[in-house]
């Protein structure tokens, strides 16, 4: 049996209810813990300045907490392990080429890791907002979710991080320069 779920709506899937009530899956006795991922945030299309599509996508995981709640100790441990496995280059994004089944082509995935989003009350419009324990505005949160700023540093994402190649020009002798 695992710890009862914290849920504002009180509704959970039948599987969740079964897991949480199953004595054979007792979290302490069986040394197992469970945690869901609240948000998988995926920018599935990147346009260039010229309006062409790029084969670069951005993705991150977000843990949402209301009332400035913190992840439990076991959840923090699981998420820490998860971060180290999935993004060993943090705070830089981790890049990997994968096959897009929808586009039927290889795409570059820029993985921005796992982040904590906390609301002082219940959401972005009724109180303060914190991203990885740093206060952000609604506009700042929108910038993060649009992948306009680096989710680790909150600084604008460089063209390299976005996957854009810098504009190059040919010099009089034919060399390419940025």
Report d(CA 113, CA 98) in Å as an integer: 17
Same domain for 66 and 22, yes or no, is no
Say if residue 106 is in the same domain as residue 18.
Answer: no
Tokens linked to 149: 């700023």
Is the same domain home to 142 and 80? yes
Residue 59 lies in a domain: yes
Whether the predicted pLDDT of 51 surpasses 70: no
Q: What is the pLDDT of residue 13?
A: 86
Residue 39 has pLDDT above 60, yes or no: yes
pTM of the entire predicted model: 0.78
Q: Residues 101, 124: one domain?
A: yes
- How many structural domains compose the chain? 2
Helix, strand, or coil (residue 144): helix
pLDDT computed for residue 52 by the predictor: 60
Q: Identify the pLDDT of residue 45.
A: 77
Q: Kindly state whether residues 10 and 82 are assigned to the same domain.
A: no
For residues 111 and 87, the answer to whether their CB atoms sit within 8 Å is yes
């Amino acid at each position: 049996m695992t710890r009862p779920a914290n849920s504002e709506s009180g509704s959970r899937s039948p599987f969740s209810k079964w897991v949480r009530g199953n004595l054979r899956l007792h979290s302490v006795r069986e040394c197992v813990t469970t945690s869901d991922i609240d948000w998988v945030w995926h920018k599935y299309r990147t346009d260039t300045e010229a309006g062409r599509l790029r084969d670069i996508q951005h993705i991150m995981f977000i843990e949402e907490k209301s009332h400035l709640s913190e992840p439990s100790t076991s959840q923090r441990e699981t998420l820490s392990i998860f971060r180290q496995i999935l993004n060993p280059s943090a705070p830089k994004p981790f890049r990997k080429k994968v096959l897009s089944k929808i586009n039927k082509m290889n795409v570059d995935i820029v993985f921005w890791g796992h982040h904590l989003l906390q609301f002082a009350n219940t959401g972005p419009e009724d109180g303060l907002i914190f991203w990885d324990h740093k206060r952000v505005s609604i506009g700042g949160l929108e910038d993060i979710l649009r992948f306009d700023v680096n989710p680790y540093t909150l600084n604008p994402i460089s063209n390299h991080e976005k996957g854009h190649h810098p504009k190059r020009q040919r010099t009089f002798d034919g060399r390419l320069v940025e």
